[in-house]
Chain A
Amino acid sequence: MTMLVPWVGTGCRAVLSAVLLIAGVLKLPDPAAAGRAVRAYQLLPEPLVAPIAFGLPVLEIALGLLLLLGVFVRAAAVGAAVLMVVFLAAVVSAWARGLTIDCGCFGSGGQVDPDDTAYLSEIVRDLGLLALAAVLVRRPRSRLALTDRAAPPSDTDTDTDTDTDTVPGDTDAVRN
C-alpha cells in the first residue's frame, strides 16, 4: 500500500493538469466567444470581461503545465483550487439566478435551452477537481515529477516533507 501512496499524487496531477490544459487551449482560438461566455454569467463589469476572458486560459495552461511537470506542485494546486472555487461560485450563482447558460468551461458557453443546462454535472466535476487539488496541496510530492518528487522506494527514511529533491553528489564531500 505505502508503495502506491506517491502514485496517488501522480494520478491527481495527471487528471487535474489534463483538464486545465484542455480547458485553457480550447479557449484560445476564439477570444470573442470566450468574452461572450464570460459576459453570459452577468457577473463582471464590462471593462473586466476581456482581461478575464483572455487571461484566464493562459493561467489555466500555466497551472496545467506546472502540475504536469511536477514543479511547484503545492503552489499550482493552491492556484487550481482557487480557480475551482471561483468557477463553482460562478456556476452556482448562474443556476441560482435562473440563467440558462453553458458554463463555457471548455470554450463554447453562452445560452442553451433550459432543458440543456448541465449545472449539476458541472458542479460535481468542479468539486471532484477541487478534491484532487486539495490532495495535492496536502501531499504535493509524487512520482514522475521534475522537482517535487516523492522519496524513492529504496529510501526507508521518513523525511517525506522536505529535502527529498536533493541533487546527487551533494555538498558535504565537496566542502570538507
Chain B
Amino acid sequence: MPSGTDRSTGHSSRQTARERIAAKRAAERAAAERARRRRNRLATGLVVTALVVAAVVVAVVVQSARTDTSGAVTPANTAAGTGGAAFVAGPADAPVTIDVYEDYLCPACRRFEADAGDELARLAAEGTARVRYRPVAILDRLSDDDYSTRAANAAAVVADAAGVEAFLEFADLLFANQPPEGGPGLSDEQLITLAAQAGATGADVEAAIRELRFGDWVERVTDQASQEGLTGTPTVLVDSDPLTTPTAEALLAAVDAASG
C-alpha cells in the first residue's frame, strides 16, 4: 500500500520529504538549544555554588575574628590554675574544690545563691572547701542591653580594683538586685553604685564598668567554660562532679562525700 501511494502522489512525497528534513533540522536546532541552555545552567550553577562557598568562608573568617579573644585583658586577683577565669574563696589547700558557674541574669543562680550562698561562704571560711566563682555570660539575648556581659564585666572590675572580698560582696548585691529576664538590665550607673557599696570606687572603676574593660575577658571565660562542658547555669562542680540539682542540701551532701 505505501508504495502505491508514493507513486500516485510523487509531488506530495517530495514535499513530505522536505517537511521531514525541516522537522529533523528543527529537532536538531531544538536539541542544540537545549544543550546550550544546559551548559548555561551548569555554568550559572557553578558560579552560584562558588559564591555560596565564598560567602561561607568569609563568614567563618569574619565570625572567628569577632569571637577572637586572644587580646583579652585578664583582671587581677583571679585564682591560679583556672586560666584566669575564677575568683576563689577559701584556702588553696582545702580538701574539697567547688566550682560555681553563674550568670548574673540567671534566676536559678539567684535562687541557688539564696539557698546555698551562706553555706558556700561557711565552707570557705572553715577551710573545708576552696570555692571558685566563675562568672559567665550566656544569657545576653535575654536582656535588651547585654546585661550578662555587662554585669560579669563589672564583677571583674570590682575584683580587679578591690580584691576577692569586694567581688563576693558585689556578686551578692548583683543577685539581690537582679533584673528580670526579657527587659533592660541594671544601668552602668546602678552597677557603679553597687560597686561602690562593695568597696570599689574611683574614676577608673567607673570608666572600666562603662567601657567594658573586661568584656573580652568575659567572652573568653564564657567560651572556656563552654569548652569545659558548661551548657547552662548554675552549674556547680564538687571536685569536678556536677550537682544534679543546685541546692544547699545537694551541695552539702556532695561535700561530705568528697571530704570523706
Contacts and interface: CB of A to CB of B under 8 A. Distances in A.
Contacts of B64: 31, 50, 54
Contacts of B45: 72, 75
Contact of B141 (A31, A33, A101): A33
B21 interface: no
B28 to A, nearest CB: 11
Interface stretch (B6-14, B91-99, B225-233): B225-233
B240 interface: no
A58 B56 contact: yes
Interface stretch (B29-37, B122-130, B151-159): B29-37
Interface residues of A, number: 38
Interface string A148-170: 00000000000000110000001
B82 interface: no
A27 to B, nearest CB: 10
B226 A175 contact: no
Contacts of B17: none
A71 interface: yes
Given A50-B60, A171-B29, A171-B33, A111 B231 contact: yes
A86 to B, nearest CB: 15
A124 interface: no
Contacts of B258: none
Residue of B37, B57, B231 with highest tally of chain A CB at under 10 A: B231
B34 A162 contact: yes
Interface stretch (A13-21, A34-42, A135-143): A34-42
B119 interface: no
Given A35-B226, A36-B138, A172-B29, A110 B231 contact: yes
B63 interface: yes
B165 interface: no
Interface string B54-68: 011101101110110
B59 A163 contact: no
Interface string B26-57: 10010001100100000011001001100111
Contact of B52 (A34, A62, A162): A62
B59 A54 contact: yes
A58 B62 CA distance: 12
Contact of B223 (A35, A55, A110, A172): A35
A145 interface: no
A53 B140 CA distance: 18
A66 B44 CA distance: 13
A171 to B, nearest CB: 6
29 contacts: A31-B64, A31-B67, A32-B67, A32-B222, A32-B223, A33-B140, A35-B226, A36-B138, A36-B226, A36-B231, A46-B227, A50-B67, A51-B60, A54-B59, A54-B60, A54-B62, A54-B63, A55-B60, A62-B52, A62-B56, A101-B231, A110-B232, A162-B34, A170-B33, A171-B29, A171-B33, A172-B26, A172-B29, A175-B29
Interface of B: 26, 29, 33-34, 37, 44-45, 48, 51-52, 55-57, 59-60, 62-64, 66-67, 138, 140-141, 219, 222-223, 226-227, 229, 231-232
